[in-house]
Amino acid sequence: MDRPPRRVLVKEVNWLGDVVMSLPALRAVRRAFPEAHLALLVKTELASFFDGAAWVDEVIPYRVTRGLGGIADRRGVIRTLRAGRYELAILLPRSFEAAFWTTLARIPQRVGFATDGRGMMLTSKVPYTPALFAGHQSGDYLHMLRATLGITGDPNDYVPDVHAPHVAAARAWLAARRRNRGPLIALAPAAAFGPAKEWPPDRYAALIDLLADRHQAECVLVGAPGERARCEQAAAATRQGALVAAGEHGVGESMALLTLCAGFAGNDSGAMHLAGALGVPTVGLYGSTRPQRTAPLGPRTKVVYHQIECSPCMDRTCRFGHYECLKRITVGEIADALVSLGAC
């Protein structure tokens, strides 16, 4: 590029945990182009993640519905991008669609990984190699920026910006529902990826009771709207009860809620990545996935993982039906991990 771009678009990744892991790269883009108008194209359900990010100039939420309605949705996204007159598009996800949209929007410079058959649509590209998959996912985005734009970033620059009004709303929500003054522990019993990431609900129920009995702790169950039923199942199986926040807050308020917690334990999920990056003492439970690849970022994190003969398989469901890698994780092990991090 013969001059710094004046209008930069970043296509954000599509899952909450991935958004957290992309923060070092996104902040590197901001530092590289301090005078540019920085816009983010992000799924509607993730847009509030950036409510507190004053360094982002524009957030463009979008939703693509299924069926024929999705065609109109995609056309709308392309029209919006074309009207924005962006000079540079940085594509963090590796999907064909991200490159296709920005090409049709006539953004002249488009950079990203040469994957999913989209290489010819990118003006600067880098292959996605097995060596990258061996490292932490947050490094992927930084590698792509270095290789395509010569931008370097700080891998430790991952702390999300929490919006102050969301903290006030989360504090009020808790004040109306809390029953004791013991430590508040957030738990995430679900994971969007599938059952191979999900510790059984009865184990979460037992953990809630154990934390209450030993440490007078109260638990709040967090997650997306579609995960509320699993959270309610776990809460209903306890003697002590638990608060259920899943589905009651957007991502922005969920971030704020986590900052008010003394600790967190949960599956490899978006909530786990948020808690770790926010500095909350965080215990991540791993089953089918690789901790080396997606361990939570943060100074006070701990991974609990029992590798067996067939793991990590990276499958959404256990091909053998036993989910033994998850079942080997004990309730006492998670409670002790929280204590060791100073959560209780």
Helix axes 68-84, 96-104, angle to 10 degrees: 50
Helix, strand, coil proportions of the chain in percent (round to 5)? 40, 15, 40
Specify whether domain 7-149 bears CATH 3.40.50.2000.
yes
Q: Where in the chain is the domain with CATH 3.40.50.2000?
A: 7-149, 164-340
How high is the mean pLDDT in each 10-residue block of the chain (344 residues)? 92 97 98 98 98 98 90 95 98 97 98 96 95 91 97 97 98 95 95 87 96 97 94 95 95 98 96 98 94 95 93 88 90 97 95
Cα gap 174→162, rounded to integer Å: 17
Residue 213: per-residue pLDDT:
96
> Is there a contact between 140 and 132 (Cβ–Cβ < 8 Å)?
yes
> Is there a contact between 151 and 28 (Cβ–Cβ < 8 Å)?
yes
Query: pTM of whole model > 0.85?
Result: yes
DSSP string, 255-287: HHHHHT-SEEEEESSHHHHHHHHTT--EEEEES
Cα gap 212→122, rounded to integer Å: 54
Which amino acid, one-letter code, is at 142? L
Residue 321: per-residue pLDDT:
84
- What is the CATH code of the structural domain delimited by 164-340? 3.40.50.2000
DSSP string, 131-144: HHHTS-THHHHHHH
Residue 1: per-residue pLDDT:
67
**HSE (CB half, 13 Å, CA atoms) of 210?**
15
